[in-house]
Amino acid sequence: MDPRPWLPDLTGPPRRLVEALRLGGPATRAQLVEQTGLSRATVSGYVSDLVGRGLVSPADAADAQPTGGRPAGLVRLTRRAGVVVGVDIGRTHVRVAVADLSHEVVGEQVVSLAVADLAADAVLDAVAARVCAELESVGASTADVAGMVVGLPTPLVSGAATAEATVAQSNILPTWSGSAPALELRRRLAVPVIADNDANLGALAEVRWGAGRGSRFTVYLKMATGVGGALVLDGGLLRGVGGTAGEVGHVSLDPAGALCRCGNRGCLELTAGGSALLEAIRAAAPQYGDLRALVAGAVDGDQACRRLVADAGTSVGLVLGGLVNTLNPDRVVVGGELGAAGDLLIEPLRRALVQSAIPAAAERLAVVPGSLGGRAEVLGALAVALREADRLR
């Protein structure tokens, strides 16, 4: 792929400065000295040079010190230095976000799309069109894209988190089996793309910016239409040898239970997944047509909604108890649309977890709802794009 205009012939110290700003966000010159190991004079000289080239700008006047000599002098990468794109493909929606290299989200939109019912090609065409529209709306084009990361609600194998990542052969997203979505999007948009599992991206975002901050070992659960999961140890994902680690939604609770789309029987997802909850509420209270409404119903005190949310929490807690015994994490973060039910979900989940885990394993464990809501996955995609932009080119 051709070099992007956002890094015009940068080598040596200027390149290291731009990398430090891209990875860490806005920084003072003193912080840049620390991060790059360059001397103060070198940093000052090259920052001025980068400002002259329009790639770096001093941050807002509000960041300056009110009195005395030079301002605190936060500097940041400008829009001209490039943008990154994050895409979260859910089973029923697509969310696209654009951030500049100073870590600011400059554009974001979410649209309903029946992803699970459409052919992969049709979804990827729609995603490509959305990405172009969102770039245009922020005054950018594909030529400005330093990197793009796309999350999918299915396990990815043979090179998860790479351009070659391939969707696992399964019925979880049947029309996508064996496809390489990152390569397909790169072909459509001519930008560097990598693909990863959506829960992996959500987990990274919660650990970096959300409810997982400060944790050493987080188990992240995405409770949405389905139930996905991911494990983050010391800031990095534990993927397992095939890239499927954390798929707790397909732990079987009942070997004689109903048949799941994955081919097993009695999977957790069949009792605690959003689709199952909506199917259950349909008979009792048909006015709750989607998950958001069901969660709102629970929060407003509807007993049927509350019961469903609580029972989902109990099922998930049972499975997590086994996981906590095995892995001994210090935090469980429950994200996805159902995570928005807060304590109505978390309390029964915690009770079931404590009952099924040995006390020593659960002793230093905190179970908390995600704090990034439906944006966790797309923010994780942006975080990975910012981190990996250089490797992607």
CB of 288 to Zn ion, least distance (A): 24
237 contacts Zn ion (rule: CB under 5 A): no
Q: Which stretch binds Zn ion (CB under 5 A): 15-23, 159-167, 250-258, 385-393?
A: 250-258
Alpha helices in the chain (DSSP H): 12-24, 29-36, 40-52, 120-137, 181-189, 198-209, 268-272, 274-284, 291-299, 303-327, 343-356, 359-362, 376-392
281 contacts Zn ion (rule: CB under 5 A): no
Q: Which among 382, 16, 5, 380 is positioned nearest to 198, based on CA atoms?
A: 380
Q: Which stretch binds Zn ion (CB under 5 A): 122-130, 153-161, 265-273, 351-359?
A: 265-273
Q: Which among 213, 261, 248, 245 is positioned nearest to 376, based on CA atoms?
A: 213
CA 367 to chain centre: 19
Q: Which residue has the tokens 């990827």?
A: 124
> For 46, phi and psi rounded to 5 degrees?
-75, -30
264 contacts Zn ion (rule: CB under 5 A): yes
Residue from 160, 260, 344, 352 binding Zn ion (CB under 5 A): 260
- As a three-state string, the secondary structure of 108-120 is EEEEECCHHHCCH
227 contacts Zn ion (rule: CB under 5 A): no
Residue count, binding to Zn ion (CB under 5 A): 5
Provide the 10 A C-beta neighbour count for residue 326: 10
Q: Which among 262, 351, 370, 359 is positioned nearest to 311, based on CA atoms?
A: 351
Closest to Zn ion by CB, 244 vs 264, is: 264
CB of 250 to Zn ion, least distance (A): 4
CB of 349 to Zn ion, least distance (A): 19
168 contacts Zn ion (rule: CB under 5 A): no
Extract the tokens encoding 26: 């806005």
Closest to Zn ion by CB, 253 vs 361, is: 253
CB of 104 to Zn ion, least distance (A): 39
250 contacts Zn ion (rule: CB under 5 A): yes
Residue from 43, 267, 291, 352 binding Zn ion (CB under 5 A): 267
Closest to Zn ion by CB, 146 vs 277, is: 277
CB of 323 to Zn ion, least distance (A): 16
262 contacts Zn ion (rule: CB under 5 A): yes
CB of 263 to Zn ion, least distance (A): 7
Q: Which stretch binds Zn ion (CB under 5 A): 49-57, 132-140, 202-210, 255-263?
A: 255-263
Question: Checking phi first, is residue 8 left (phi over 0); if not, alpha (psi -120 to 50) or beta?
Answer: beta
CB of 393 to Zn ion, least distance (A): 38
Contacts of 269 (CB under 8 A, 6+ apart): 226, 227, 249, 250, 260, 275, 276
CB of 261 to Zn ion, least distance (A): 6
By the criterion CB under 5 A, which residues form the site for Zn ion?
250, 260, 262, 264, 267
